[in-house]
């Protein structure tokens, strides 16, 4: 079974057509470079409305069967930024390390990264991660920070494949030139 990934861009203005959404294209570009395993995507461009975000996350996990859902946008401190609240409302379990690592990476670039409220959660057999809204920040948080070929600060995606293994999602391989997935030596690929 191939992995199914939900991509949700959360923006009042982009969802109204006031400006072009850059979150979903940035996610699609990065995932196509980083993931070696066959995968499919389901995309949604929605407004910053908590009930709509919750319904979209439920739909992607419960009805569409996404194993991984990546959101972009709506994670700041502004009154309309309700992505973390919506994500937590649909969660079975919280995975705080993902948000902590995203902030650590972003703080290397901008002091305002401390204002970000990204969260990671598990719903059923799906991992849901809130990513930043800007394409450059999306890439940095997923991939990590490098000094030449050396990874200085690991990106969050290095932990995603093993997390998916642990919650019963399909196996996901990455392209090590982009991001090297970490799995303990005891991890065994199904059917191997």
**What is the value of pTM for the model shown?**
0.95
What per-residue string of b and e applies to 121-142 under the rule 16 or more CB within 10 Å gives b?
bbbebbbbbbbbbbbebbbbbb
- For the chain of 192 residues, list the mean pLDDT of each consecutive stretch of 10: 94 86 95 97 96 98 98 93 97 97 91 94 98 92 87 92 96 94 85 66
Query: For position 190, what pLDDT does the model report?
Result: 75
Query: For position 12, what pLDDT does the model report?
Result: 86
The whole-angstrom distance between residue 40's C-alpha and the CA centroid of its chain comes to 15
Query: For position 147, what pLDDT does the model report?
Result: 82
Query: For position 25, what pLDDT does the model report?
Result: 96
Q: Out of 3.40.50.11810, 1.10.150.20, 3.40.980.10, 3.10.20.30, which CATH number does the structure's domain 3-166 have?
A: 3.40.980.10
Query: For position 192, what pLDDT does the model report?
Result: 62
The whole-angstrom distance between residue 184's C-alpha and the CA centroid of its chain comes to 22
Complete DSSP assignment for 106-126: HHTT-GGGGG----EEEETTE
Whether the CA torsion 2, 162, 76, 57 is positive or negative: it is: positive
Q: Could you write out the three-class secondary structure of 13-76?
A: HHHCCCCCCCHHHHHHHHHHHHECCCEEEEEEEECCCHHHHHHHHHHHHHHCCCCEEEEECCCC
Query: For position 8, what pLDDT does the model report?
Result: 98
Instruction: Answer whether 34's CB lies under 8 Å from 142's CB.
Output: yes
Query: For position 148, what pLDDT does the model report?
Result: 80
């Amino acid at each position: 079974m191939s992995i199914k990934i939900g991509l949700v861009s959360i923006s009042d203005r982009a969802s109204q057509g006031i400006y072009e959404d850059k979150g979903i294209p940035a996610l699609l570009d990065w995932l196509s470079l980083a993931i070696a395993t066959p995968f499919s995507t389901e995309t949604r461009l929605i407004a910053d409305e908590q009930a709509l975000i919750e319904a979209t996350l439920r739909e992607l996990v419960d009805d569409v069967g996404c194993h991984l859902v990546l959101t972009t946008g709506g994670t700041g401190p502004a009154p309309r930024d309700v992505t973390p609240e919506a994500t937590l409302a649909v969660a079975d379990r919280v995975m705080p390390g993902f948000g902590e690592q995203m902030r650590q990476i972003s703080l290397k670039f901008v002091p305002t990264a401390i204002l970000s409220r990204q969260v990671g959660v598990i719903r059923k057999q799906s991992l849901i991660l809130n990513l930043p809204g800007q394409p450059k920040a999306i890439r940095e948080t997923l991939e990590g920070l490098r000094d030449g070929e050396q990874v200085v600060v690991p990106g969050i995606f290095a932990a995603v494949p093993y997390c998916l293994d642990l919650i019963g999602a399909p196996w996901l391989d990455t392209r090590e030139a982009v991001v090297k997935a970490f799995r303990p030596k005891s991890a065994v690929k199904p059917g191997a």
